[in-house]
A = this chain, B = another copy of it.
């Protein structure tokens, strides 16, 4: 008996950039923001979005077939998911990250092979241009959009950290690279006895303050200006680092873990979280691909397994370490001093 092999999966993934780019173009053209106002027919949508008649219908019907729009009696409408997550005017919008993927990463990933052969970044930095972070921080508007997008993406994991970490044993925390501050906010909302500090570059401060105030937490959450390469992390009971370590090379990673260690008392804890790769490096597809994205985007960054991170923590002096799954591809690695 022979098993019938088919090339279906190879073709589906190989041509996977088609549905991907179609969704990214729809976000860029604000299809979902437009349809969040009310359902529209082809002629009306075509006009409002500035679509050329040739492919407008194929484009919208492809979004229907992909499950991102519904079409009822010729009226296109958002699905519950695209209405909640891809309408720009809602606070639950997560499209900022995908706008960035569309405007930057899709093109940069076209040079993946060159990156794999050379080990060098393939983004703006490639032609000697300014880095992503430099470009972001130069524009308050762009920075705010990026940080809000990070919040949308991290929300699930942030809520999970607020739930799963034993906060009853701790009073104070510092969120390193806090961005808009959603992780600090979720922990404070869930645990009235704690107070926290968001630690980030000065440009982030007004964005953090606005977000914290909107959540009614200005009394318990403060901002601390600093650059984690040039300043110590403020002393506290728990240090958190979400989507930080993977941007940096091994030495920089260890330096940051050491700064966390130095900021903690005996019994204090470091929480590192992002798309932690499974120890066998054979399951967390998103974590492994995120590591390739660090090749595209950074000089030496890479993602890592829970075992890797626990090893670095132990080397630096943490006594007790563990890995705990959060949501989707994300886990946290916890080290206790």
Where the two chains meet, the residues of A that have a C-beta atom closer than 8 Å to any C-beta of B are 3, 5-11, 13-25, 27-29, 50-59, 61-62, 64-68, 71, 80-82, 84-86, 94, 98, 101, 105-107, 109-110, 112-113, 115-119, 152-153, 156, 277, 281-286, 288-289, 291-293, 295, 300, 302-303, 328
Q: A10-B81, A85-B5 are in contact. Are A19 and B285 (CB under 8 A)?
A: yes
Q: Is the CB of A24 within 8 A of B14?
A: yes
Chain B residues whose CB sits within 8 angstroms of the CB of A153 once the complex forms:
7, 11
Q: What are 17 A-B contacts with C-beta separation under 8 Å?
A: A7-B81, A9-B67, A10-B94, A13-B68, A14-B101, A15-B20, A17-B20, A17-B109, A25-B112, A25-B113, A28-B113, A50-B117, A52-B117, A53-B119, A58-B302, A64-B281, A65-B282
- The listed residue (B8, B53, B295) touching A58 by CB distance below 8 A is B295
A24 to chain B: closest residue by CB: B14
Q: Is the CB of B55 within 8 A of A115?
A: yes
Nearest-neighbour CB distance to chain B for A42, whole angstroms, equals 11
Chain B CB within 10 Å — which of A50, A82, A117, A277 has the most? Answer: A117
- Copy number in the complex reads 2
Q: Is the CB of B7 within 8 A of A13?
A: no
Chain B residues whose CB sits within 8 angstroms of the CB of A110 once the complex forms:
21, 106-107, 110
Q: Is the CB of A55 within 8 A of B292?
A: yes
Chain B residues whose CB sits within 8 angstroms of the CB of A22 once the complex forms:
112, 289, 292
- The listed residue (B62, B98, B303) touching A14 by CB distance below 8 A is B98
Chain B residues whose CB sits within 8 angstroms of the CB of A286 once the complex forms:
15
Chain B residues whose CB sits within 8 angstroms of the CB of A20 once the complex forms:
13-17, 20
Chain B residues whose CB sits within 8 angstroms of the CB of A3 once the complex forms:
80
Nearest-neighbour CB distance to chain B for A106, whole angstroms, equals 6
Q: Is the CB of B14 within 8 A of A288?
A: no
Q: Once the chains are docked, how many angstroms separate the CA of A135 from the CA of B20?
A: 28
Chain B residues whose CB sits within 8 angstroms of the CB of A57 once the complex forms:
281
Q: Is the CB of A295 within 8 A of B54?
A: yes
Chain B CB within 10 Å — which of A18, A107, A117, A291 has the most? Answer: A18
A5-B85, A106-B110 known; 4 other A-B pairs, CB under 8 Å?
A10-B85, A19-B289, A55-B291, A62-B288
Nearest-neighbour CB distance to chain B for A252, whole angstroms, equals 15
Q: Once the chains are docked, how many angstroms separate the CA of A3 from the CA of B55?
A: 34
A152 to chain B: closest residue by CB: B7
Q: A18-B109, A55-B295 are in contact. Are A156 and B6 (CB under 8 A)?
A: yes
Q: A7-B85, A61-B282, A62-B285 are in contact. Are A55 and B156 (CB under 8 A)?
A: no
Q: Is the CB of A55 within 8 A of B119?
A: yes
- The listed residue (B29, B58, B288) touching A288 by CB distance below 8 A is B58
Nearest-neighbour CB distance to chain B for A88, whole angstroms, equals 14
Nearest-neighbour CB distance to chain B for A332, whole angstroms, equals 19
Q: A14-B101, A17-B106 are in contact. Are A289 and B116 (CB under 8 A)?
A: no
A28 to chain B: closest residue by CB: B113
Nearest-neighbour CB distance to chain B for A113, whole angstroms, equals 5
A285 to chain B: closest residue by CB: B65
Chain B residues whose CB sits within 8 angstroms of the CB of A300 once the complex forms:
54
